[in-house]
Structures are given as C-alpha cells and as structure tokens.
Amino acid sequence: MDKPSTNESTENESTDKPEDKDILLVFRHAPYGNALAREGLEAALACGAMGAKTSVLYINEGVWQLLEPQNSSAIDCKNQAAMASALPLYDVDAIWVDEDSLKQRNLTGADINAGKIINHTHVQTLLASSKRILSF
C-alpha cells in the first residue's frame, strides 16, 4: 500500500472477517518516559496477530520511537525500536510516519528505521478514512 486512500476501508465493511476491517493505531508518545509506547505497540502486534488490517501512524512525540539505535538496556527496559521491527512479522506493513512531526524535531528519513513518511494531507486522509482508531 503506497498511500492511504479514502475509499479503501469502506468497500469491504459488509463482511465480518477481521482482514476486511481496518484498525489504525495512533502513536503520539515518546518511548520509555511512560508505558504508552510499549503498550501501544503490543496492541498493534495483537491486531496484526488476529488478522486485522492494521495501520500504525507515528506522529508528534511518537516519532521518537523510531529513532535508531536505541540502547534501552541502559535503563533496564525492553527496546522499543526492536519491538517495532516485529510489526511486519505480524503482517503490520502499513507503518506511516508524519513528516511534519519529523521536521519539527529536526529529523529526517535517515534518522528513523521504519515506516513510510507521509505528508500532512495524507495524514488527514488516513485519519478520515479510518473507522476504528486506538489512541496511544
């Protein structure tokens, strides 16, 4: 999937199959300072494991989760970036990163290790076309 589309999610809604229903998880918080990044990611992996069409949007402070490398053992924590790399293994390939959030933090595509960078308009489209959002 190259970019989010407005109509994609409404076409298959008449079925009850998880793979026909999209879930978008929005990740807005930096890793380690609280458990939202970790627990949000675990929820995303669970969505993928259950076969739901899962998308993840890293935005605002959430983009820090993708900065690599992270040496989380320094604070005796599970490595958030390493956990995020498991997303494709659980069939979560729609990983979006908000361009404006990167720019505000002086980050570029070279600094982050996953996801497709999308602009403001695409972020709006992604949100508008989602029927189920889990906010982390």
Partner 1 sequence: MLHTVNKSAFDNSALGDCLAVVSPNDAVLLIENGVYGALDNSPSELAHIKNIKQLSASGTRFYVLQADCEARGLAESALLPAVTVVDDAGFVALAAEASAIQSWY
Partner 2 sequence: MNFALLILGPPYSTQASASALRFARAALSGGHGIYRLFFYHDGVHNASALVSTTQDENNLPQQWSELIEQHQLDSVVCIAAATRRGVLNEQEAQRLGKAGSNLSADHEVSGLGQLVDASLSADRMITFG
Name the site residues for partner 1 (rule: CB under 8 A): 24, 26, 28, 59-60, 100, 120, 123-124, 127-128, 130-133, 135
Give the integer Cα–Cα distance in Å for 98 and 106. Answer: 13
Q: Is 77 in the site for partner 2 (CB under 8 A)?
A: no
Q: Which range binds partner 2 by CB under 8 A, 69-77, 79-87, 94-102, 126-134?
A: 126-134
Our finding on whether 30 is near partner 2 (CB under 8 A) is no
List the single partner that 13 binds among partner 1, partner 2, none, CB under 5 to 8 Å by kind: none
Q: Does 50 bind partner 2 (CB under 8 A)?
A: yes
Strand ordering across the sheet containing 116-118:
116-118, 94-98, 53-58, 22-27, 133-135
**CB-wise, 108 or 124, nearer to partner 1?**
124
| DSSP bridge pairs for 25 | 56, 134
**What is the contact surface with partner 2 in residues (CB under 8 A)?**
18, 21, 23, 35-36, 39, 42-43, 46-47, 49-50, 52, 132-136
